[in-house]
């Protein structure tokens, strides 16, 4: 099939651009670990969340020098535990599951934006350099009070 010279050049340029984007994304994912969330597949019985450790006791604990683990449960229409507070510069590893329907877990202004699916555990991390009261909201429609489902993380 003959293709006009200029169309060939255009498609070469276009495809090259796509390849460059894919390489950047691929290297970040597989080389640098800057990947979409949830590398590890970690399952849980969604009807037994309140009985299954560590989700039977949602809490935020210090696990290293300015490193924290936040074990959380999402439910219609809020998050446990409340309240949550960490010092500025803290790295928080969130581990969260849902005790009912699919929820979202988004911190506006950051790249923390994951789905929380019943039966699965979501893992996402973030370093909070700037102090403030960070909004954490549900961005996956989950029912009648979806727009009220939120919590905050205070970074001092």
Partner 1 sequence: MTDSKLSTFDRKDGQLVIAHVLFAFAALLLGGIAGMLQGMVKGGTITLPANIGYYELLTAHGVLMALIFTTYFIVGFLYSGVSQTLGGRLLPLTKRLGWIGYWLMSIGTLIGVVVILLGKASVLYTFYAPMKASPWFYVALALVVIGSWLSGFGIFYQYVQWRKTNKGKLSPLFAFMSVITMLLWQIATIGVAIEVVVQLIPWSFGWVETVNVVLSRTLFWFFGHPLVYFWLLPAYMCWYVIIPKIIGGKIFSDALARMSFVLFLLFSIPVGFHHQLMEPGISHFWKYLQVVLTFMVVIPSLMTAFSLFATFELNGRSKGTKGLFGWVKVLPWKDVRFFAPFMGMLIFIPAGAGGLINASNQMNAVVHNTLWVTGHFHLTVATSVALTFFGIVYWLIPVVTGRVLTPRLNKLGIIQTVIWCVGMFFMSGSMHTVGLLGSPRRTAYSTYDDHPDAIMWIPYHVAMAIGGIILFVGVLLIIYNIIALMRAPKGETEYPIGEVSDASEPTPRFLENWKLWIALTVILIVIAYTIPVIDQINNPTPGSPGYVTW
Partner 2 sequence: MRDDRSVSKPHEGHSEPEKKEQSLKGAFASVMILGAFLAITWIGVFILFVARD
In whole angstroms, give the CA distance from residue 90 to residue 1: 59
Min dist CB 90 to partner 1, Å, is 20
- Under the binding rule (CB under 8 A), the answer on residue 114 touching partner 1 is yes
> For residues 63, 100, 150 and 125, what is the CA-based torsion angle, rounded to 10 degrees?
30
Min dist CB 20 to partner 1, Å, is 11
Pick from 7, 39, 56, 85 the residue near partner 2 by CB under 8 A.
7
Q: Which helix (H) or strand (E) holds 12?
A: helix 5-26
- Under the binding rule (CB under 8 A), the answer on residue 32 touching partner 2 is no
- Cβ contacts of residue 82 below 8 Å, gap of 6+? 151
Choose among partner 2, partner 1, none what residue 91 binds, the Cβ cut-off being 5 to 8 Å by kind. Answer: none
**Collapsed DSSP state (helix, strand, coil) of residue 31:** helix
- Cβ contacts of residue 34 below 8 Å, gap of 6+? 28
- Under the binding rule (CB under 8 A), the answer on residue 6 touching partner 2 is yes
Binding site for partner 1 (CB under 8 A): 1-4, 7, 10-11, 14-15, 18, 21-22, 25-26, 28-30, 34-39, 41-47, 76, 100-102, 104, 106, 108-109, 111-123, 133, 135, 137-144, 146-148, 150, 152
């Amino acid at each position: 099939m003959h293709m006009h010279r200029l169309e060939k050049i255009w498609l070469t340029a276009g495809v090259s651009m796509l390849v460059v984007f894919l390489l950047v994304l691929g290297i970040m994912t597989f080389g640098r670990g800057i990947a979409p969330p949830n590398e590890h597949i970690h399952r849980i019985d969604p009807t037994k969340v309140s009985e299954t450790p560590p989700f039977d006791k949602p809490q935020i604990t210090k696990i290293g020098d300015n490193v924290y683990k936040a074990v959380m449960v999402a439910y219609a229409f809020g998050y446990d535990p409340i309240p949550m507070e960490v010092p500025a510069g803290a790295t928080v590893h969130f581990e969260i599951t849902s005790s009912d329907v699919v929820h979202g877990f988004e911190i506006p202004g950051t790249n923390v934006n994951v789905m929380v699916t019943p039966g699965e555990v979501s893992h996402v991390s973030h370093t909070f350099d700037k102090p403030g009261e960070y909004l954490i909201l549900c961005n996956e429609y989950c029912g009648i009070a979806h727009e009220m489902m939120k919590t905050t993380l205070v970074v001092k």
